[in-house]
């Protein structure tokens, strides 16, 4: 459950979106606006990412990898034995270990977190944010934005988003959990506007022999 919570948090930072508040840093807002506008120009997006868990002292506890494909409101996520399909109206969440798929409706009005929100509108009325400056990461120049949730009951107290200055896309997200662990998501590759068949985003039962369906619609 905790793993799923922080998978969602990778797509978080983006989830509850509305308008920026006056208290927020205008320089940070300009960067985030740029990321959102750039993403909206892409017809399709495919990204690979790593997911790293550290303890409070910075010791790595685990590192895993995953991929995301997006086309309009459709998406497909592959991560650590879990596959999520969405054709724009229906969501299938497949658990390989259990050979079980849960089926639910995509309700755009419910504030449901979707991978698309990772790349757009992650500045939100529920966060205060400020620009921490720039740094070099390998051959990239990244701009780091520090985000603090207004709601102190959330399970995390800080989120650090690093934006690639040249490409205007998210490079990494670090979530600091109240209990001390750190969850770090880094985009390792990003490609755009490649052809993607719509079938990618629909769960095909025939490819998963014996799968148990749990219909939550």
Higher pLDDT: 98 or 108? It is 98
* Span of 7-11, 12-16, 114-118 with lowest mean pLDDT: 12-16
* Sequence spans of domains, the chain: 2-215
CB–CB of 170/20 below 8 Å?
A: no
Higher pLDDT: 32 or 23? It is 32
- Helix or strand or coil: residue 208? coil
* pLDDT score recorded for residue 108: 61
pTM above 0.75, yes or no: yes
Tokens of 2: 């905790």
Higher pLDDT: 19 or 150? It is 150
CA dist., res. 176 & res. 158, Å (int): 5
Homologous superfamily of the 2-215 domain (CATH):
Lipoprotein localisation LolA/LolB/LppX (2.50.20.10)
Q: CB 193: neighbour CB atoms within 10 A?
A: 11
* pLDDT score recorded for residue 47: 93
At 119-166, the pLDDT tens digits run 666 556 678 889 999 999 999 999 999 988 888 888 889 989 999 999
């Amino acid at each position: 459950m905790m793993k799923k919570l922080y998978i969602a948090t990778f797509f978080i930072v983006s989830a509850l979106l509305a308008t920026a508040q006056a208290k927020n840093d205008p320089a940070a807002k300009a960067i985030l606006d740029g990321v959102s506008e750039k993403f909206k120009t892409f017809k399709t997006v495919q990204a690979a990412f790593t997911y790293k868990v550290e303890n409070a002292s910075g010791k790595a506890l685990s590192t895993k990898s995953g991929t995301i494909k997006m086309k309009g409101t459709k998406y497909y996520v592959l991560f650590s034995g879990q596959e999520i399909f969405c054709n724009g109206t229906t969501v299938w969440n497949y658990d390989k270990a259990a050979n079980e798929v849960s089926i639910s409706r995509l309700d755009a009005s419910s504030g449901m977190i979707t991978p698309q929100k990772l790349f757009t509108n992650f500045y939100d009325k529920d966060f205060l944010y400020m620009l921490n400056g720039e740094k070099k990461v390998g051959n990239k120049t990244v701009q780091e934005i520090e985000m603090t949730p207004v709601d102190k009951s959330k399970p995390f107290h800080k989120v650090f988003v690093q934006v690639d200055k040249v490409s205007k896309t998210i490079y990494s997200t670090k979530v600091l959990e109240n209990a001390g662990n750190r969850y770090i998501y880094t985009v390792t590759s990003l490609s755009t506007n490649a052809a993607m068949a719509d079938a990618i985003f629909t769960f095909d039962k025939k490819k998963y022999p014996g799968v148990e369906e749990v219909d939550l619609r």
